[in-house]
Amino acid sequence: MLDQGRISAFQLGLMMYPAVLVSGFLVLPSATFQLAKNDLWLTGLPGLLVGLIAVYTATRLHELYPKQNVVQYGERILGKIPGKLLGLVYITYNLHAAGGITRQYADFVVGNFLLKTPMILIMASMLLLCAFAVYGGAELIARGTIIFFR
């Protein structure tokens, strides 16, 4: 039975890590090859470290402040006004990042698989699938993530 959208810290970490990896797989190689040349394989190590720190921080905050969202525990840690400003920055950043990831994914699919498909169709179908998943709730997404990791 679904627990009214409650997810564990482990499930949150599993959901966050692929989001960090996607942008690394699609953008990092071409952008860093220009500088790294033969040492390109080393550029993934700092990204891995930063990603692990981000996932660890998010899971620890989730454990320390259960049943609260980012804006709520931001207010408890920083105070009312700075916490709300941090929440606004967080939401704005996530909207911007979601748009960028959607565009990168669509570029990848159109450039490699569906060459004659309009990009808007790829983006719309992906966003529709995401909307269905969000409608199902966070716990549904978290359980699906665990299934894909096993």
Q: What is the pLDDT of residue 14?
A: 81
Find the DSSP H helices in the chain. 9-36, 44-64, 70-78, 80-112, 119-136, 138-149
* Cα distance between residue 63 and residue 75, in whole Å: 16
Q: What is the pLDDT of residue 80?
A: 93
How many Cβ atoms from other residues are within 10 Å of residue 18's Cβ?
12
* Cα distance between residue 136 and residue 84, in whole Å: 28
* Spatial CB neighbours of 78, under 8 Å, sequence gap ≥ 6: 86
What residues of the chain score a pLDDT lower than 70?
Answer: 1-5, 19-20, 22-24, 26-28
How many Cβ atoms from other residues are within 10 Å of residue 142's Cβ?
19
Amino acid letter, residue 147? I
Place of tokens 């080393």: 42
Contact status, residue 29 vs residue 18, Cβ threshold 8 Å: no
The CA angle 62-64-65, to the nearest 5 degrees, is 65
This model's pTM is above 0.85: no
Q: What is the pLDDT of residue 5?
A: 63
Chain centroid to CA 29 = 19
Q: What is the pLDDT of residue 26?
A: 65
Show the tokens assigned to 77: 């840690």
Q: What is the pLDDT of residue 4?
A: 62
